[in-house]
Chains A and B, each alone.
Chain A
Amino acid sequence: KAGVTQTPRYLIKTRGQQVTLSCSPISGHRSVSWYQQTPGQGLQFLFEYFSETQRNKGNFPGRFSGRQFSNSRSEMNVSTLELGDSALYLCASSPRTSGGGELFFGEGSRLTVL
């Protein structure tokens, strides 16, 4: 089985722009979660989608949004980029329809905001 695939792997944006990141989960996985990883804050939960519905949301401003499609693929969007949004954005998928905790991570999309 192919692993979780994230695109693009690297991108550079300037302040004020917006960005869209894509995640393809492992085939059959219906839950997709997003995490932001920075040296200072570590891994922080952004949101989680299951069956095209946002199930949980972390403590991030409304500039961070996401969605999930019927094929379980997910996108996250960050609008009005700030320097502090520079981070590695990790997507993770899970096979479970309930419970959870075992996440399969992608390699991440590294965003640099100049």
Chain B
Amino acid sequence: AQRVTQPEKLLSVFKGAPVELKCNYSYSGSPELFWYVQYSRQRLQLLLRHISRESIKGFTADLNKGETSFHLKKPFAQEEDSAMYYCALRGANSGGSNYKLTFGKGTLLTVNP
């Protein structure tokens, strides 16, 4: 079974402060992990994926298989980062035909001025 846990429903930080959104997962195989973001009045969109090992809008996330975590981090939060963030997992042992994503329940990040 696949499970994604985001322990914080709400996270509030001040502009310029570091931010870390936590994500833990449970999966027996080798997963693919993603972060999706939904800004106010916009549709859900991909922020980044662990395979790419990229930094998007200053955010990074490292897959830690030992701790089964995929925390999202940004050293200096900006007001425009305020949004709902969802961590998602895709099982990678499905022969390449699995598009099912299991989402966490999301963390609402508020960056205060």
- Report which A residues bind B (CB closer than 8 A): 3-4, 31, 33, 35, 41-45, 48, 50, 55-56, 58, 90, 92, 94, 98-108
Contacts and interface: CB of A to CB of B under 8 A. Distances in A.
Contacts, number: 62
Interface stretch (B39-47, B63-71, B75-83): B39-47
A105 B45 contact: yes
Interface in B6-33: 32
Contact of B99 (A41, A42, A55, A90): A55
A4 B101 CA distance: 18
A41 B106 CA distance: 10
B99 A100 contact: yes
Nearest to B86: A43
B46 to A, nearest CB: 5
User: Top 9 A-B pairs ranked by shortest CB distance?
Assistant: A98-B96, A42-B105, A43-B103, A100-B99, A105-B44, A101-B90, A48-B99, A56-B100, A105-B43
Interface string B83-113: 0001010100000111111111110000000
Nearest to A107: B43
A43 B100 CA distance: 11
Interface residues of B, number: 22
A42 B100 contact: no
Contacts of A50: 97, 99
Contacts of B32: 101
Contacts of B99: 31, 33, 48, 50, 55-56, 94, 100-101, 103
B14 to A, nearest CB: 27
Contacts of B103: 35, 42-44
Contacts of B45: 104-105
A106 B100 CA distance: 16
10 contacts: A42-B86, A42-B105, A44-B103, A48-B100, A55-B97, A90-B44, A99-B96, A101-B88, A103-B101, A105-B45
